[in-house]
Amino acid sequence: MPAVLDPAVARLLHHGTVIPAHPLALTADRVLDEDRQRALTRYYLAAGAGGLAVGVHTTQFALREHGLLPTVLGLAAQEARAAARERPFVLVAGVCGPTVQAVAEAATARELGYDAVLVSPAGLDDVDLDGLLDRSAAVGEVLPVVGFYLQEAVGGRYLPAGFWRRLADQPSTVAVKAAPFDRYRTLELVAGVAASGRGADVALYTGNDDAIVADLLTPYHVTGPDGPVVRHFVGGLLGHWAVWTRSAVDLLRDAHAARDGDAGARARALARLAGDTDANAAVYDVRGGFAGCIAGVHEVLRTHGLLRGTWCLDPAEDLSPGQAAEIARVHASYPWLSAEARFVADGLARWLPEPGSGRTARTCSADPSERTTEETQ
């Protein structure tokens, strides 16, 4: 029998919320920094996020090779459940790999209290569309499914409208994340979901970090089983929202108000359209072909004091030349980004443990002899 969402979580997911893709905090030895990992989760909660996605691309798929997936999933769940008792909160675990692996990872997430899973298509180019759909159905017996259109630059593949209609047909599918970074393919996804008899039961979340504002404000006029329908992206599940998260909460609030006819809210959201895209180009390293996208997220968090460096599990993964300067430029260019830095500075003392508390980092199997970024704090 397909898994179902808790009713309160389902209402939140379908209303729309901010779901940051959770990064992985490491020390200079590429060891999990548990204190900083918890501090990141506390930041997202304090910023007003309505959920977290953990074990996804921004968390680094390689954490599985180092045996870190259960630990990292567990840390986020502990912090979220402790701090969000008074409001609904959706925990989404990323799962990947062949069916057996994806189902096992979903089972681990369920044991840790997760609500749904984001099913990644990465690394499965040899699996046909029927196989991808069968895998989602199998995972959906464990936890509800969020479908995922991943851009090809970081391991995704083309998925036609018919695929999204068939995925939406599956009763375990509760949402889809559109992240092809392509307007044509985004429209295909929306049209495919809308064409399903279950289309209205599947929430649309933008993952197009280069077009967040456009997705949130656009009414998609498409065709459902009974004729014309209008669909909207109700929220975002984004690596971009792993930074400047409180400003993302403000943006989504304005986008929802704009849809209800608030002209001032629409104007405020539109005023951010170009700036948010500019900021994402810097963080996601568009000039470098996205090579520094995860390190770019880390760099923003480092400058805010939440991380100590930009280290990734793969020693070769680092900022591209000039990327740090681009991030500094956009940070100084847009007032909502500067305001975020002040918000984080005010909260760091609450989110990080007291000095000398005796907390230690957990080890993993990454090579400690490699370095990419000098410790700065």
Q: What is this structure's pTM?
A: 0.92
Instruction: Classify 69 as helix, strand or coil.
Output: helix
Q: Please check whether residue 116 is in contact with residue 174, taking contact to mean a CB–CB distance below 8 angstroms.
A: yes
* Residue 153 and residue 289 in contact, taking contact as beta carbons nearer than 8 Å: yes
Q: Cβ distance 305 to 377 under 8 Å?
A: yes
Cα 272 to Cα 213: distance, rounded to the nearest angstrom: 7
Q: What string of DSSP letters covers 84-133?
A: -TTS--EEEEEE-SSHHHHHHHHHHHHHTT--EEEE--TT-TTS-HHHHH
Spatial separation of the C-alpha atoms in residues 203 and 193, rounded to whole Å:
9
Q: What is the dihedral of CA 321, 326, 328, 330, to 10 degrees?
A: -170
- Tell me the sheet residues that pair with 206: 178, 236
Distance of CA 113 to the CA centre of its chain: 18
- Per DSSP, the residues of 214-274 read HHHH--EEEEETTEEEEE---EEEESGGGSSHHHHHHHHHHHHHHHTT-HHHHHHHHHTHH
Are the beta carbons of 177 and 167 closer than 8 angstroms? no
Alpha-carbon span 61 to 69, nearest angstrom:
9
Neighbouring-strand partners of residue 116: 92
- Supply the pLDDT for residue 367: 35
Q: Which residues of 70-109 are buried (b: 16+ CB within 10 A; e: fewer)?
A: bbbbbbbbebbeeebeeebbbbbbbbbbebeebbebbbbb
pLDDT value of residue 362: 42
Spatial distance between the Cα atoms of 257 and 262, rounded to a whole number of angstroms? 5
C-alpha span between 72 and 264 (Å, rounded) = 40
Diameter of the chain by CA atoms? 64
**What separation in angstroms does the CA of 275 have from each of 129, 205, 210, 279, 294?**
37, 20, 10, 6, 20
Per the listing, tokens 């104007």 go with: 267
- What pLDDT, on the 0 to 100 scale, is given for residue 344? 96
Structural class in CATH, domain 7-351: alpha beta
- Identify the sign of the CA torsion 201, 202, 205, 208: negative
DSSP letters for 137-157: HHHTTTS-EEEEEE-GGGT--
pLDDT tens digit at each of 377 positions of the chain: 888 999 999 999 999 999 999 999 999 999 999 999 999 999 999 999 999 999 999 999 999 999 999 999 999 999 998 877 788 999 999 999 999 999 999 999 999 999 999 998 877 878 899 999 999 999 999 999 999 998 887 777 899 999 999 999 999 999 999 999 999 999 999 999 999 999 999 999 999 999 999 999 999 999 999 999 999 999 999 999 999 999 999 999 999 999 999 999 999 999 999 999 999 999 999 999 999 999 999 999 999 999 999 999 999 999 999 999 999 999 999 999 989 999 999 999 999 986 555 454 443 433 323 323 333 33
3-state secondary structure 3-55: CCCCHHHHHHHHHCCEEEECCCCECCCCCECHHHHHHHHHHHHHHCCCEEEEC
| Residue 355, pLDDT score | 59
Question: What does the alpha-carbon distance between residue 136 and residue 121 come to, in Å, rounded to a whole number?
Answer: 10
CA-wise closest residue to 242 among 149, 328, 304:
304
> How far is it, in rounded angstroms, from Cα 19 to Cα 245?
9
